[in-house]
Amino acid sequence: MILETQNVDEPLDSEEETSTARRQLRAGTTLANRYHIQEVIGVGGMGSVYRARDLHFPNVVKLVAVKEMINLAPDPLVRRTIVQNFEREANILATLNHRSIPRIYDYFSEEDKSYLVLEFINGKDLEAIIAEAEGFLPEDEVLAWAIELCDVLHFLHTHKPDPIIFRDMKPSNAMINQYGNVVLVDFGIAKPFQVGQKGTMIGTEGYSPPEQYRGEATPLADIYALGATLHHALTKRDPRLEPPFSFAERPLRKINPDISGEFEAAINTALQYNPEDRYASALEMKEALLAVARKTGALSRLPTHTTAAMQSNAIKPIWAFQCEDEIRGTPAIHDGNLFIGSYDNNLYALDASNGEFKWKYATDGGIVSRPLVYDNNVYFGSEDNRLHVVSARSGKVTWTYYTKGRIRSSPRLAEGHVFIGSDDNYLHAVNITSGRAAWIFEASSSIRSTPFVAQDLVYTGCESGDFYCIGFQGELKWRFQAKRAVTSSPWVADNVVYFTSLDSTFYALDAQTGWVIWRARLGKGSISSPALVDNLLFVGAADGNIYAIEAHTSKEIWRFRTEHQVSSSPVIYRDSLYCGSVDGFLYCLEYTTGRLRWKFATEGPITGSPLVFDDIVYIGSTDHHIYALLA
Amino acid sequence: MIKFFKKLFARPETQPDNVTTAPLSEQQIESIVQTQGPLYDLQQLNAGAGQSTGKQRELNEDSLLSITTTLAGNSGNLPFGLYIIADGMGGHQYGEVASNAAIRTMGGLILGKFHPYMFDLPTKVMDESIQEIMLAGVKDAQNIVQHEAPGSGTTLTAALVLGRQVTIAHVGDSRVYVVRPDGRVEPITRDHSLVRRLEELGQITSEEAAVHPQRNVLYRAIGQGDALEPDIFTVPFPQSGYLMLCSDGLWGVITEDDISKAVLQAPSLHRACQNLVTAANTAGGPDNISVILVQMLG
C-alpha cells in the first residue's frame, strides 16, 4: 500500500487556510468517489473525523470512519513530519490484527489533505461513559473492559519485530462499541519502541506514570496508565484535576465501597510508583484480573445496563419469511438459495439474499431434519417416515425412501450414500443413485442423532443411550452406553468423537475403540451438538448454558447463561459464536471469551441451529419465521 | 579373516552423517509415512529406555517405568503403553524414595484399572474416563509421597498410550517431546518451573532461561503443597516419529539438535536412548538422566 502524499507537499493556497472549521467537509460530500460523508464525529489536532458510508456496498449500509489530516504547516520540514506521522499511524494500524484495534480499510490523499479510512466504531468513548453514568460504573463491566485492554496491550507489547507502546492509554482513547467491547483508538502517537531508546515525552497528564515524564516509554508505562484509567472509571475522579501520581491518596474502596478488594489490589499494583513494583507485563495483569473475575464470578454474568441499552435497537433483520407453522430445524444454503423445513409439512426454498419465496415442497409430516444439498438435489427427512430427495432448482421430487418411523435425524452424505436415522430404530444407508438401502443397522431405540462419517466409519447415538460406531458394510465396530439418550449429533476430529447426552455429560471417546478419554459434567442434559474450532468445543445444555470446553483437557473455558434451555447447536463464524435458545433469542458471543456481542429476539423458542454464510446469519424460530441477520 | 568379521559385524558405514535437518514439507512427511505403512499390518508400539546417575551426583533419584503390550478389544489387539518418569527433588531428603513411590503408586493404579483387559484377574470393570484414571493416579502418588517421604518432592510425567491416543499427566519439569522424522523436536508439556513461567510471560528469553540460576525451582511438584493440579490432556499419538519422555538431566544438558541427531541416527530405540544418555554425560552429566522413547509402528 502506498500513501499518495505528493499533493500534501504542494504549496497551500494561502487565502483559504484560516481555520479547521472552515475546511471541514460538508455532509453529502463524496471522497475518492467512494466515501459519502455523513457527519463530523470528532475534531482532533490535525483535522476532523467523519462518519461516512462506503458506496462500494450499495445493498447494505457499511459505515466507516474517515480521519482527516489537514496540512497547515508553513514549514516544509514540519509538513513532511506531519505526513510521516500520518503514514506511520496508517502503517502501524494496517499491520495490526486484533479485535480491539480498529481495522484500516484504505488511505489516500486529496489536495492538501490526507485521509485514513477506518472501521467505524459504533459506540462511545469511556470518558463519555464515565461522565454520563449516574452512579459508579459496575465493577463487572469495568473488569471485563480491563481484561480486554490488558489483552490488546499485551498484543501491542509483544508485537514483532518491535514492541509497540501505546503511550496514551486514557478513557477517551478507549471506545466501547455497541457490543460492549473495548476498541483502542488514536494511534497517533503510538510508536514502534526500541529498547533503550529515549522517546519523546508525550502522554496525557494525569494518566502517565512518573517515568514517562522523564521521556521513558515502556510497556510498564502503559500498565500504569491503564491502572489510572481504571481508577478514573471506578471512582469518577478525573486524575487530570488532581495532583500527579496521587492515586494512593484516593483509595478506590474509600470512594466506591462496592469494589471488591481483589480488584482494588490489582489496580493498586498497576499504579505503583516504581515500574518494578507493577505487573511485569500486560499478560500478568490480565491473568491477575481473570483471577479476580473468577473469584467474583464477573465473567459469567450478563453485561449490565450500559451495554445492554446500546444493543436494544441495534439488530434488525435483513429479511424475515413466515411459514404456516413452527420452524424447529436448521436451514441449509446452496447456490444463493436457502432451504428450510417447517412443521407446516413443507420444505421451503427462498432467495437467500432477500427472502423471496421460490418454491415449496409438501410432505405429510413436520420437518425438523436439516436439509442437505448435493448435486442439485435437496435431501431431508420428514415425520411422514420418508427421506425426500427433491430438485434444488424446481422442488420436483427426484425420489423418496421409506422408513418405518418418523425421521427427526438429518442426512449425512459420504461415498455415494446418504446416512440417516429413524424412529424405526434403524440407521439407513441409502445409495443415492438407486434410492435403495445398501444396508440398515438396528439400534436399541429411535435414532434422532445425525450420523457423522469419518475414515470409513459411521457414528450415531440413539434414544436409549447407546452410541454406535458402524463400519461401511453396516457392521458394528464398537458400542458405548451413556446413561440416558444421545440425541446430540457427534463430531469427530483427530480420532476423537465428541457428543453430549441427556445424562448431563459431555463425552470424548477414542473414535477407533470407544474408550472414554474424558467426561465433562454439564449442569443438565443436552441434545445440542458440539462444534469444534481452535481446539475449543462449544455446546449448549438444558441448564440454559452455552459451554466452551478445551478439547484436549476437558477444562471449561467459559460458560454463558441464557434464560432457558439451549437445544440449538452453536456455530462459529470468524471470531463469533452464534446459538439460539428456548428463551427466544439468537445470541452472538465472542467465542474466545463468551462475552455477549448482541442478541436478537424472536417471538418464540428457538430449537434449531443458526446457519452463517457470507456474513449473514439465518435462524428459524417456532414463531413461524426464518430470519436473516447481518453477522 | 578380520575383513570378513568386519563385514559380518561392523555396522554399515553408510550411516548418513550429512543428514539434513531442514524441515520436510508435509507432503514429504506424508510419503515417508506411507512408505512405512505397509510394513506392519497391525499397529504396534515399540519402546526403549535409558538411565544414568550422571557424572556429578552420587545417587540416582530418578525413577522410570516402561510397559508396552497390547489389550484385547472388540476391534482387535490394541496397542497399550504406560511410560512414567519421576525425578526426585535434589536437596530434599529421600528424593529417590519419593520418585519411586510416585511411580509405583501411579503405575499400580493404572494397571489395576486395565487388569480385566490384560489378564484374567478379578478387577472392577472400568467406569471412568482415561483422564479421570490419570488424575486418580497423580492424586494417589501425591498422598503416598506425603505419607512415606514427608518433606520430599518429585516430578511426575506419565504417558498412557491406548490405540492412537496418548494421554499425558504431568507435574514438574520432566518433559514429553515429539521427535519428528525431519528432525524437529517439540516439547508438548509445560514445565511447572519459575523460570519457564518468566519465559512465558516474556520476562526473560529462552537463552536467559537456559542459564538462569533459579532454573531448577519448581512451583508445582508431587509431595509439595496441598492442592495439586496436574496438567492432563489427550492428543493423537504422533503418526511418524517418536514420543520422548525425559528428566531435566537430559533436556537441560543437551540441545534439541543433539536430541534429534541421537534419536534419528540410531539403529534402534534402545541404542537411541543409550546415545542420549551418553550425550548428556559427555556434556558433563550434572544430574541424573532418564529417558524413554516410544514409537508407533503400523
Q: What is the signed CA dihedral for B57, B62, B68, B74, rounded to 10 degrees?
A: -160
State percent of chain A over pLDDT 90.
Answer: 56
Q: Are residues A131 and A115 in the same domain?
A: no
Q: Are residues A149 and A272 in the same domain?
A: yes
**What is the CB neighbour count within 10 angstroms for residue B9?**
7
Q: Look up A168 and say whether it is catalytic.
A: yes
Residue A512 falls inside a structural domain: no
> Taking a contact as any Cβ pair under 8 Å apart, which residues of chain A between 274 and 313 contact chain B?
280-281, 283-284
Burial B224-261 (b: 16+ CB within 10 A, else e): beeebebbbbbbebbebbbbbbbbbbbbbbbeeebbbb
Q: Do B75 and A513 touch (CB under 8 A)?
A: yes
Q: Which of A477, A515, A554 sits opposite B162 (nearest CB)?
A: A515
Q: Do B165 and A510 touch (CB under 8 A)?
A: yes
Out of A72, A92, A119, pick the residue that ends a domain: A119
> Taking a contact as any Cβ pair under 8 Å apart, which residues of chain A between 309 and 328 contact chain B?
none
Q: Which of B74, B129, B231 sits opposite A518 (nearest CB)?
A: B129
Q: Do A518 and B231 touch (CB under 8 A)?
A: no
Q: Are residues A167 and A270 in the same domain?
A: yes
Residue B2 is predicted with a pLDDT of 58
Residue A444 is predicted with a pLDDT of 94
CA–CA gap between residue B63 and residue A179 (Å, rounded): 54
Residues in chain B within 8 Å Cβ distance of A284: 201
Q: In what order do the strands lie in the sheet with A372-374?
A: A372-374, A377-381, A386-391, A397-402
Minimum Cα–Cα distance from A477: chain B residue: B75
Query: Which domain CATH number covers A56?
Result: 3.30.200.20
Kindly report which listed range (A306-310, A344-348, A430-434, B177-181) carries the lowest average pLDDT score. A306-310
- Residues B160-207 pLDDT 10s: 999 889 999 999 999 999 999 989 999 999 888 877 777 776 667 778
Kindly report which listed range (A182-196, B143-157, B275-289) carries the lowest average pLDDT score. A182-196
Q: What is the mean pLDDT of chain A?
A: 85
Residue A147 is predicted with a pLDDT of 92
Can you tell me whether residue A134 is helix, strand or coil?
Answer: coil
Q: Residue A491 — pLDDT band, cuts 50, 70, 90?
A: very high
Average the pLDDT over A472-494 and give the result. Answer: 93
CA–CA gap between residue A449 and residue A465 (Å, rounded): 11
CA–CA gap between residue A77 and residue A1 (Å, rounded): 24
DSSP B89: P
- Residues B198-250 pLDDT 10s: 777 666 777 877 777 767 778 788 887 767 889 999 999 998 889 999 999 99
A305 with A611: CB under 8 angstroms? no
Residues in chain B within 8 Å Cβ distance of A477: 74-75
User: Shortest Cα distance from A522 to chain B (angstroms)?
Assistant: 16
A631: its cell numbers: 453477522
A549 touches chain B (CB under 8 A): no
Residue A28 is predicted with a pLDDT of 86
Residue A96 is predicted with a pLDDT of 83
Domains of chain B: 44-190+218-297 (3.60.40.10)
Q: Which of B75, B165, B201 sits opposite A517 (nearest CB)?
A: B165
Query: Which domain CATH number covers A291?
Result: 1.10.510.10
pLDDT at A116 over 60: yes
Residue B39 is predicted with a pLDDT of 62
Q: Are residues A106 and A226 in the same domain?
A: no
Minimum Cα–Cα distance from A511: chain B residue: B164
Residue A307 is predicted with a pLDDT of 42
Residue A18 is predicted with a pLDDT of 45
Non-local (6+) Cβ contacts of B128 within 8 A are: A516, B113, B136
Q: Do A283 and B129 touch (CB under 8 A)?
A: no
Minimum Cα–Cα distance from A479: chain B residue: B74
Q: Are residues A169 and A233 in the same domain?
A: yes
> Which of A276, A495, A498, A505 to substitute to test the interface with B, most B CBs within 10 Å?
A495
Omega cis (within 30) before A161: yes
Out of A261, A290, A311, pick the residue that ends a domain: A311
A159 touches chain B (CB under 8 A): no
Non-local (6+) Cβ contacts of A220 within 8 A are: A209, A211, A275, A278, A280
Q: Are residues A139 and A272 in the same domain?
A: yes
Residue A579 falls inside a structural domain: yes
A510 touches chain B (CB under 8 A): yes
Can you tell me whether residue B278 is helix, strand or coil?
Answer: helix
ipTM: 0.77
Residue A199 is predicted with a pLDDT of 37
Residue A327 falls inside a structural domain: no
Out of A84, A119, A154, pick the residue that ends a domain: A119
Q: Are residues A170 and A103 in the same domain?
A: no
Residues in chain B within 8 Å Cβ distance of A552: 233-235
Q: Which of A283, A478, A518 sits opposite B131 (nearest CB)?
A: A518
CA–CA gap between residue B78 and residue B75 (Å, rounded): 8
Residues in chain B within 8 Å Cβ distance of A158: 202
Can you tell me whether residue B293 is helix, strand or coil?
Answer: strand
Average the pLDDT over A590-600 and give the result. Answer: 89
Residue A133 falls inside a structural domain: yes
Overall domain count for chain A: 3
- Backbone Cα Rg of chain A: 29
A250 touches chain B (CB under 8 A): no
Residue A5 is predicted with a pLDDT of 32
Residue type, B174: S
B interface residues, A as partner, C-beta within 8 Å: 73-75, 78, 128-132, 162-165, 167, 201-203, 231-236
Residue A314 is predicted with a pLDDT of 59
More confident residue, A3 or A575: A575
Residue A378 falls inside a structural domain: no
Q: Are residues A28 and A93 in the same domain?
A: yes
Residue A33 is predicted with a pLDDT of 87
From the number of C-beta atoms within 10 Å of its C-beta (0-12, 13-18, 19+), residue A439 rates as middle
Q: Are residues A177 and A115 in the same domain?
A: no
| Of A54, A168, A423, A424, catalytic | A168
Structural domain boundaries enclosing A54: 20-119
pLDDT at A311 over 50: no
Residue A139 falls inside a structural domain: yes
Residue B217 is predicted with a pLDDT of 74
Q: What is the signed CA dihedral for B219, B223, B224, B229, rounded to 10 degrees?
A: 60
pLDDT at A141 over 70: yes
Residue A123 is predicted with a pLDDT of 87
Q: Are residues A115 and A130 in the same domain?
A: no
pLDDT at A122 over 90: no
Minimum Cα–Cα distance from A513: chain B residue: B75
User: Shortest Cα distance from B252 to chain A (angstroms)?
Assistant: 26
Residue A406 falls inside a structural domain: no
How many beta-carbon pairs below 8 A join chains A and B? 66
CA–CA gap between residue B276 and residue B269 (Å, rounded): 11
Q: Are residues A155 and A289 in the same domain?
A: yes
Query: Which domain CATH number covers A554?
Result: 2.40.128.630
More confident residue, B156 or A166: B156
Residue B83 is predicted with a pLDDT of 98
User: Shortest Cα distance from B157 to chain A (angstroms)?
Assistant: 16
Residue A380 falls inside a structural domain: no
Q: Residue A303 — pLDDT band, cuts 50, 70, 90?
A: very low
Strand-pair category, A625-630 with B44-52: unpaired
Q: Are residues A133 and A95 in the same domain?
A: no
Q: Which of B129, B162, B201 sits opposite A284 (nearest CB)?
A: B201
Average the pLDDT over A492-521 and give the result. Answer: 94
